[in-house]
Amino acid sequence: MCEETKFSVLCSLFTWIQRSRTSAKKRSKFRIFLDTFCINGHQFSAIRLILPNLDRERGSYGLKESVLATCLIDALGMSRESEDALRLINWRKGGAKTGANAGNFAMVAAEVLQRRQGMTSGGLTIKELNDLLDCLASSENRTEKTSVLSTLIKKTNAQEMKWIVMIILKDLKLGISEKSIFHEFHPDAEDLFNVTCDLKLVCEKLKDRSQRHKRQDIEVGKAVRPQLAMRVADATAAWKKLHGKEVVVECKFDGDRIQIHKNGEEIHFFSRNFLDHPEYKYAMSNIVAQNLLVDRCILDGEMLVWDISLNRFAEFGSNQEIAKAAKEGLDSDRQVLSYVAFDILYVGDTSVIHQTLKERHELLQKVVKPLKGRFEILVPSGGLNTHRPSGEPCWSLIAYDVDDVERFFKKTVENRDEGIVLKDLGSKWEPSDRSGKWLKLKPEYVHAGSDLDVLIIGGYYGSGRRGGEVAQFLVGLADHSGPDTYPRRFISFCRVGTGLSDDELDAVVTKLKPYFRKNEYPKKAPPSFYQVTNNSKERPDIWIDSPEKSIILSITSDIRTIRSEVFAAPYSLRFPRIDCVRYDKPWHECLDVQSFMELVHSSNGT
């Protein structure tokens, strides 16, 4: 039986799959495992360990790399100051000691574990591992988590523990797609998972590979994998792709994709990774119950924050805070959660995903009684469009030619929205589909209006391919103390990593390396000429220890600036990207905060 199989067998499978070069070979190894070890049911106990990111049966472990590092250090009884402990804490860092493993937490952990655990397997079965992982997920504090980890360490060897670390981090890096795993398991597994998001159910219903399963429709109460949008470069490309179709263009809202499932009194808010969000339940259930006029229904849409005083949606980032405040009874009179339904998937006792979008829009209008700023519908006539603040473009419209799309896109850019989504009004809603029935067009890398030439003041180690090397920079703006003097202080402004080729990035890193000042655990105060906040998200792994030796980067970004709490400058950039390296510009010609603020205000970027 699969459950009684030793976890070491699964580890050998993982290693084989990882080492096999071709997809066919990887799949055939998995097939052999299924045929040999999973013949008498209970496949779920193994499959949930192979696809840990799809397993919703146990809650979250609450263990990202940094917390996992401290728990492992304690579980192994190491001093936090020891070399190996620091290696785990600074897992991203390169250098001779962690060598090629830098940036890969599980490999660094394996290195450390190898010195303490030995090679002999502890004989842990798949069932025992699942039971211990259940304990790990349900334990409430670090002490309890550490104790479960210490039991696991006692029952495994270093190789097995490395795979357990990867299971906890929910990424096995096997180089085989979820699609292939599903397909080897059962030809109908992917389809069934897409409409139920329930791995256990898939394993239980599809035990027999030779028995085909009737295509299942969606159900109220079970999250569905959302339909997705394909990215297009510009309005012309979008129009060409939807040639001959009846097209609606909608604003791309910047919130949380949420499915609302209403079944009588029971209301669920499922996010994209199929989690039910209790914080939304608390803040929004009453509104949904009162304004959703049918007993059973599934809505698809975006959860946002409505700013009552500004009469518009607030910028992304505040959803969770508002929801948490509402839960604690601290309702804000300025900002409230607001749901925009842009689709409907189920009404009464019928799935409506096979109807056209146009028909679904009509249904939306029938079943939702919109409540301004709290519960809205997005359809090309009526709904949200009727009360968009004056002077702003409507939120959705039917496009008759490419110019309509272009105009709508321009307006959303001016309005600093995230972009637009184009949809074929004749299309059905398809779970997990990104084949082009929905297209997205985003103004991400529109130039910020003027060159933003900023100074590199720190660096962050990368992970994966760039593990152990600086892969992102913390850049700063100059704070001029007076005219005709060189700046003496630089204020942290944003973190930027994309835009340069590997060679260009290597060249910058090599030039700056002599001036790196490592900022390893425990993180030290920055050099006195940098002004930063206390926010830990901002703390780089290295500082450049003299600004005069540093390099200026020209960066571009989404045209929207955002108020910054992470960085010391009052505003930061969304989606910053390095345009080029300005070796020709001396360090002191870095953009200063005052000029940047003028730029923000002149582009109405508040």
- As annotated, the active-site residues are 252
As measured in angstroms, the least distance from the Cβ of 69 to ligand ATP is: 29
Q: Tell me the C-alpha to C-alpha distance, in Å, between residue 460 and each of 137, 454, 533.
A: 30, 17, 16
Give the range of 7-15, 226-234, 281-289, 530-538 binding ligand ATP by CB under 6 A: 226-234
Interface residue with ligand ATP, options 239, 269, 342, 473 (CB under 6 A): 342
Interface residue with ligand ATP, options 3, 188, 250, 469 (CB under 6 A): 250
Specify the residue for token string 């989504």.
421
Specify the residue for token string 């059905």.
428
Q: Tell me the C-alpha to C-alpha distance, in Å, between residue 238 and each of 115, 134, 241, 390, 407.
A: 56, 47, 5, 28, 13
Q: Is the dihedral of CA 429, 431, 434, 435 positive or negative?
A: negative
Interface residue with ligand ATP, options 97, 209, 245, 257 (CB under 6 A): 257
- Percent helix, strand, coil in the chain, to 5, is 40, 20, 40
* 253 is an interface residue for ligand ATP by CB under 6 A: yes
Give the range of 87-95, 173-181, 250-258, 330-338 binding ligand ATP by CB under 6 A: 250-258
Interface residue with ligand ATP, options 78, 135, 228, 394 (CB under 6 A): 228
Per-residue mark of binding to ligand ATP, 557-586 (x: CB under 6 A): ------------------------------
As measured in angstroms, the least distance from the Cβ of 215 to ligand ATP is: 23
- CB-based contacts of 175: which residues, under 8 Å, 6+ apart? 17, 18, 26
Total residues interacting with ligand ATP, rule: CB under 6 A:
12
As measured in angstroms, the least distance from the Cβ of 606 to ligand ATP is: 23
For 350-412, give the DSSP string.
EE-TTS-HHHHHHHHHHHB--BTTTEEE--SSSGGGGGSPTTSPPSEEEESSHHHHHHHHHHH
For 202-266, give the DSSP string.
HHHHT--TTS--PPPPP-TTS--PPP--EE-SSHHHHHHHTTTS-EEEEE---SEEEEEEEETTE
Interface residue with ligand ATP, options 47, 229, 260, 457 (CB under 6 A): 229
Is the bond preceding residue 522 a cis peptide, omega within 30 degrees? yes
Report the residue number, 151 or 365, with the smaller CB distance to ligand ATP. Answer: 365
Give the range of 193-201, 221-229, 452-460, 505-513 binding ligand ATP by CB under 6 A: 221-229
Measure the CA–CA gap between 350 and 333, rounded to whole angstroms. Answer: 39
Report the residue number, 91 or 270, with the smaller CB distance to ligand ATP. Answer: 270
* 308 is an interface residue for ligand ATP by CB under 6 A: no
Q: Tell me the C-alpha to C-alpha distance, in Å, between residue 351 and each of 193, 212, 229, 264, 430.
A: 17, 22, 21, 16, 12
Under DSSP, is residue 321 helix (H, G, I), strand (E, B) or coil? Answer: helix
Report the residue number, 73 or 224, with the smaller CB distance to ligand ATP. Answer: 224
Per-residue mark of binding to ligand ATP, 371-400 (x: CB under 6 A): -------x----------------------
Quick one: 404 exposed, middle or buried, by C-beta within 10 A (0-12, 13-18, 19+)? middle
As measured in angstroms, the least distance from the Cβ of 394 to ligand ATP is: 13
As measured in angstroms, the least distance from the Cβ of 227 to ligand ATP is: 8
Restricted to residues 286-305, the positions that interact with ligand ATP (CB under 6 A) are 302
Give the range of 32-40, 53-61, 251-259, 482-490 binding ligand ATP by CB under 6 A: 251-259
Report the residue number, 232 or 455, with the smaller CB distance to ligand ATP. Answer: 232
Give the range of 135-143, 225-233, 303-311, 480-488 binding ligand ATP by CB under 6 A: 225-233
Report the residue number, 272 or 324, with the smaller CB distance to ligand ATP. Answer: 272
Report the residue number, 62 or 497, with the smaller CB distance to ligand ATP. Answer: 497
Specify the residue for token string 């944003």.
494
Quick one: 567 exposed, middle or buried, by C-beta within 10 A (0-12, 13-18, 19+)? buried
Report the residue number, 25 or 434, with the smaller CB distance to ligand ATP. Answer: 434
Measure the CA–CA gap between 495 and 474, rounded to whole angstroms. Answer: 5
As measured in angstroms, the least distance from the Cβ of 435 to ligand ATP is: 12
Task: Decide if 300 contacts 347 (C-beta within 8 A).
Answer: no
As measured in angstroms, the least distance from the Cβ of 498 to ligand ATP is: 14
* 252 is an interface residue for ligand ATP by CB under 6 A: yes
Per-residue mark of binding to ligand ATP, 36-55 (x: CB under 6 A): --------------------
As measured in angstroms, the least distance from the Cβ of 572 to ligand ATP is: 18
* 433 is an interface residue for ligand ATP by CB under 6 A: no
**Residue of 451, 453, 415, 470 lying closest to 587 (CA atoms):** 453
Measure the CA–CA gap between 519 and 542, rounded to whole angstroms. Answer: 5
Report the residue number, 171 or 295, with the smaller CB distance to ligand ATP. Answer: 171
Task: Decide if 399 contacts 248 (C-beta within 8 A).
Answer: yes
* 440 is an interface residue for ligand ATP by CB under 6 A: yes
3-state secondary structure 29-78: HHHHHHHHHCCCCCHHHHHHHHCHHHCCCCCCCCCCHHHHHHHHHHHCCC
* 421 is an interface residue for ligand ATP by CB under 6 A: yes
As measured in angstroms, the least distance from the Cβ of 340 to ligand ATP is: 8
> How many CB atoms neighbour CB 158 within 10 A?
18
Report the residue number, 226 or 370, with the smaller CB distance to ligand ATP. Answer: 226
As measured in angstroms, the least distance from the Cβ of 304 to ligand ATP is: 9
Report the residue number, 380 or 547, with the smaller CB distance to ligand ATP. Answer: 380
Q: Are strands 542-544 and 452-461 parallel, antiparallel or unpaired?
A: antiparallel
User: Where does this chain bind ligand ATP (CB under 6 A)?
Assistant: 226, 228-229, 250, 252-253, 257, 302, 342, 378, 421, 440
